[in-house]
Amino acid sequence: MLKKFLAICIILVMSLSCISCGKKIDSPEEVVTNYLNAIKSKDFETAKTYVMEENDQVLSEMEEEELANEMIRIFETLSFQVVSTKVNDSTATVKTTIKNIDMKPVMGDVISELFSLAFSDLDEATLEAKQSEAFVNALEANKDTTIETEVEIQLEKGETGWLIIPNEKLADGITGGLLSIGEDLANSFGKESENEVSN
């Protein structure tokens, strides 16, 4: 009876081992490639499966429907190339070159248009439509002006496989420098406010 029980246990363990071995875990390079391809394809649900979602600025922005409808166009021209991969036990670094539209001239055009609209007598709905139109037009006008960023993408291996640890530089590279532009504008307005207070 004992021998039969042990034999069943051994068979069960071997079966589970075979199942575990049969399940392929994507390499860090594959995870990065799949994530960026999902972003490029605007498949954000799939992209979420490759990252520690709560930290991903790009995906969290996509949750806002109004913003997503405009920003989603940014990813159409996204391209990338994996340069190298380093694995150290449960952590990995995938150095990747990310290329996209340079958002600096795009936002320059948009801001200029918004200033002219600020003095118009348009109602809120029309103003929002004009803002969206200005963004789309600026993207089209600057589609050939690109920026290239080299990002060291960090990953961590968990129970289900490798996951990307998102950071500001990755988000900035994917969005063509949009994050940096936002920070520069915030700092600029902050300094202006400080000057007004001091005067």
Q: Supply the pLDDT for residue 44.
A: 87
Q: Supply the pLDDT for residue 15.
A: 39
Q: Supply the pLDDT for residue 199.
A: 52
**Cα separation of 74 and 98, whole Å?**
13
Q: Supply the pLDDT for residue 140.
A: 92
Alpha-helix runs per DSSP H in 41-175: 44-48, 57-62, 65-71, 103-118, 124-141, 168-174
pLDDT < 70 positions in the chain: 1-23, 53-68, 188-199
Q: Supply the pLDDT for residue 173.
A: 94
Q: Are 86 and 28 in contact (CB under 8 A)?
A: no
Q: Supply the pLDDT for residue 141.
A: 94
Token duo for residue 139 = 């993207």
Closest CA to 142 of 86, 77, 89, 80: 77
157 DSSP assignment: E
In the sheet that 79-88 helps form, which strands lie side by side, from edge to edge? 79-88, 91-101, 146-157, 162-165
**Cα separation of 5 and 20, whole Å?**
23
Task: Tell me phi and psi for residue 162, to 5 degrees.
Answer: -80, 140
Q: Supply the pLDDT for residue 68.
A: 59
Q: Do β-strands 91-101 and 162-165 pair in parallel, antiparallel, or remain unpaired?
A: unpaired
Domains parsed from the chain with CATH numbers = 27-99+146-178 (3.10.450.50)
